């Protein structure tokens, strides 16, 4: 078995037993990155840093001082500020930005000994569901074909954490960090056949993550197994005084949930997720997933989440509104791109007009409009009110059940040139994931099967806020029953 095929748990055991070194493990991944460069999974590769960190890790293993994730090579979504390493958010406006500080999540990961292979590609400012809005070009899914650059249908990896998902699926990173605002971890995880968890709002620090919509943004791990996700999350999670919405709660050992019994747990099936025109294979997979959990001892019950159909509309008011405010900081004065203009206003307008891509500009304009005088109540306040109803739906549902099972995405991966003309068609990708962000809950996508086109499909589990443990229990049971062991062409 190749070193790059190992799970994080296996790699950790191999490193501890000195079967191979952290440098060897890093080199194997760097070699894989060379071969898989056509995927465009990374914006910035950091081989020198990786080898330096791996060497330090080997020294810690030699002296018996290795940490939890020592020597594990990971990809970091290029939305996390990394000290001294260019951080672009996949935008032209930040393409020369070198942070002077480290995000809390990457700080924690480095503190636990992980090795950074590079900064993973994403949709510009994490705005997208296909990784096609990146200033650095789209990511091609490793499922596209044996030679992705020449594939007849170049598939999207999903988005916005598309580079992270592609890298993990293609075995050129053992795990990756992703971030979510409306499904940006779970949807690409589903499309690439890996595991991705969006955690409770406030569990992981947002400090040092380029902000998109602050009331929704939340980082999380992407891995090839539920157990690996539990390991990464334990390190990434935890209170941070630098994030005003960080929650001060002890972080449990999520690994305890792996393989734990789900006997007696109540799993809710929300009837409203059976949307019009849903592909039969998605419905079939969903029923299969419910049967798997039932066989494992869980009780399946039907629940209602009556305001589900409004979640996307709420999201596409609130997220652009918050984005238009957050992205005001890119003004060509303190950092990033500056495009000259005759006066200060012209300089602002030229910088932002040239620096932001099409989808980002569209969302800034939409956000500015719904926040502008005369429309604020009709759109923004209205959306916040419906957001409360969506949150209340979940609160009521969790009086009856412990976790909720739904599909993750409405389809398998589509081709890079599809769904580009109509923004609403693209937005519909997040129909099953967005309600979870609006409610601040944790959700996980687990690969469960393949569609008729041979591409991966995931199912989503949702739990109460800060009950990630139930998520890991149920996700691990689902993973075990599904036995998903398919690999993409480029792996």
Partner 1 sequence: MSIDPKTVARIAHLARLKVPEAEQKSLAGELNKILDWVAQLDEVDTANVEPLASVHDGTLRMRADVVNDGNKMDAILANAPAKTGDFFTVPKVIE
- Helix then strand then coil, in percent of the chain rounded to 5, is 45, 15, 45
Residue 340 host element (H or E): none
- Interacting span for partner 1 (CB under 8 A) from 15-23, 55-63, 180-188, 329-337: 329-337
The verdict on 212 binding partner 1 (CB under 8 A) reads no
- Six-digit token string for 274: 């059976």
Residues ≥6 apart with Cβ < 8 Å to 323: 125, 127, 212, 213, 360, 363, 364, 367
The verdict on 344 binding partner 1 (CB under 8 A) reads yes
What SS3 state is found at 479? Answer: helix
Q: Of the residues 57, 129, 141, 160, which is catalytic?
A: 160
Q: Which of residues 465-484 bind partner 1 (CB under 8 A)?
A: 465
Q: Do residues 466 and 203 touch, judged by C-beta distance below 8 A?
A: yes
**Residues binding partner 1: number (CB under 8 A):** 72
- Interacting span for partner 1 (CB under 8 A) from 41-49, 263-271, 337-345, 455-463: 337-345
Count of positions (residues) in the chain? 491
Report which of 91, 71, 59 is spatially closest to residue 364, judged by C-alpha positions: 91
Question: Going by DSSP bridges, is the β-strand pair 266-270/299-303 parallel, antiparallel, or unpaired?
Answer: parallel
| Minimum CB distance to partner 1, residue 386 (Å) | 5
Q: Which of residues 360-389 bind partner 1 (CB under 8 A)?
A: 361-362, 364-366, 368-369, 372, 375, 378-379, 381-389
Q: Of the residues 130, 141, 184, 205, which is catalytic?
A: 184
The residue from 113, 128, 202, 238 that contacts partner 1 (CB under 8 A) is: 202
Q: Of the residues 21, 57, 77, 134, which is catalytic?
A: 77
Q: Cβ closer to partner 1: 336 or 449?
A: 336
- Six-digit token string for 472: 């890991």
**Half-sphere exposure (Cβ direction) of 191: Cα atoms closer than 13 Å:** 37
Task: Write down the residue that tokens 């968890």 correspond to.
Answer: 197
| Minimum CB distance to partner 1, residue 276 (Å) | 14
Q: Which of residues 44-103 bind partner 1 (CB under 8 A)?
A: 96-98, 100-101
Q: In the annotation, is 77 catalytic?
A: yes
| Minimum CB distance to partner 1, residue 318 (Å) | 9
Q: In the annotation, is 487 catalytic?
A: no
| Minimum CB distance to partner 1, residue 237 (Å) | 16
Q: Cβ closer to partner 1: 209 or 441?
A: 441
Q: Cβ closer to partner 1: 128 or 336?
A: 336
Burial class (CB in 10 A: 0-12, 13-18, 19+), 34: exposed
Positions marked active-site: 77, 160, 184
């Amino acid at each position: 078995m190749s070193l790059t095929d190992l799970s994080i748990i296996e790699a950790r055991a191999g490193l501890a037993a000195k079967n191979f070194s952290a440098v060897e493990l890093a080199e194997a991944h760097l070699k894989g990155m060379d071969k898989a460069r056509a995927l465009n999974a990374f914006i910035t590769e950091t081989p020198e840093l990786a080898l330096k960190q791996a060497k330090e890790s080997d020294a810690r293993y030699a002296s018996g001082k290795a940490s939890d994730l020592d020597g594990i090579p990971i990809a970091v979504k290029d939305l996390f500020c990394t000290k001294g390493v260019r951080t672009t958010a996949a935008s032209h406006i930040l393409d020369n930005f070198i942070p002077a500080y480290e995000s809390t999540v990457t700080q924690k990961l480095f503190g636990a000994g992980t090795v950074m292979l590079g900064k993973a590609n994403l949709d510009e400012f994490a705005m997208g569901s296909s990784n096609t809005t990146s200033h650095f070009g789209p990511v091609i899914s490793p499922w596209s074909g044996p030679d992705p650059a020449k594939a007849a249908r170049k598939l999207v990896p999903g988005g916005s954490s598309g580079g992270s998902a592609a890298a993990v699926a293609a075995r050129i990173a053992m795990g990756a960090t992703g971030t979510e605002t409306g499904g940006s971890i779970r949807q690409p995880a589903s499309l690439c056949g890996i595991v991705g968890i969006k955690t409770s709002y406030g569990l992981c620090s947002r400090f040092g993550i380029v902000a998109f919509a602050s009331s929704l943004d939340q980082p999380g791990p992407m891995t090839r197994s539920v157990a690996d996700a539990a390991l990464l999350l334990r390190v990434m999670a935890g209170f941070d005084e630098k994030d005003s919405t960080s929650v001060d709660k002890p972080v449990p050992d999520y690994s305890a949930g792996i393989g734990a019994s789900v006997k007696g747990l109540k799993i809710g099936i929300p009837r409203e997720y059976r949307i019009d025109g849903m592909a039969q294979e998605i419905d079939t997979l969903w029923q299969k997933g419910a049967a798997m959990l039932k066989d494992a001892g869980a009780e399946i019950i039907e629940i209602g989440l009556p305001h589900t159909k409004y979640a996307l509309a709420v999201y596409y008011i609130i997220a652009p509104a918050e984005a238009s405010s957050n992205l005001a900081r890119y003004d060509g004065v303190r950092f990033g791109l500056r495009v000259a203009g005759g006066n200060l206003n012209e300089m602002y307008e030229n910088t932002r007009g040239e620096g932001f891509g099409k989808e980002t500009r569209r969302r800034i304009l939409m956000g500015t409009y719904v926040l502008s005088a005369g429309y604020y109540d009709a759109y923004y306040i209205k959306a916040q009110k419906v957001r409360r109803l969506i949150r209340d739906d979940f609160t009521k549902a969790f009086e009856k059940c412990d976790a909720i099972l739904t599909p993750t995405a409405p389809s398998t991966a589509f081709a890079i040139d599809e769904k580009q003309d109509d923004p609403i068609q693209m937005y519909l990708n997040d129909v099953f994931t967005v309600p979870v962000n609006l409610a601040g809950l944790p959700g996980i996508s687990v690969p469960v099967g393949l569609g008729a086109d041979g591409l991966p499909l995931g199912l989503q589990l949702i739990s109460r806020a800060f009950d990630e443990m139930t998520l890991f229990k149920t996700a691990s049971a689902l993973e075990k029953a599904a036995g998903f062991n398919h690999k993409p062409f480029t792996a």
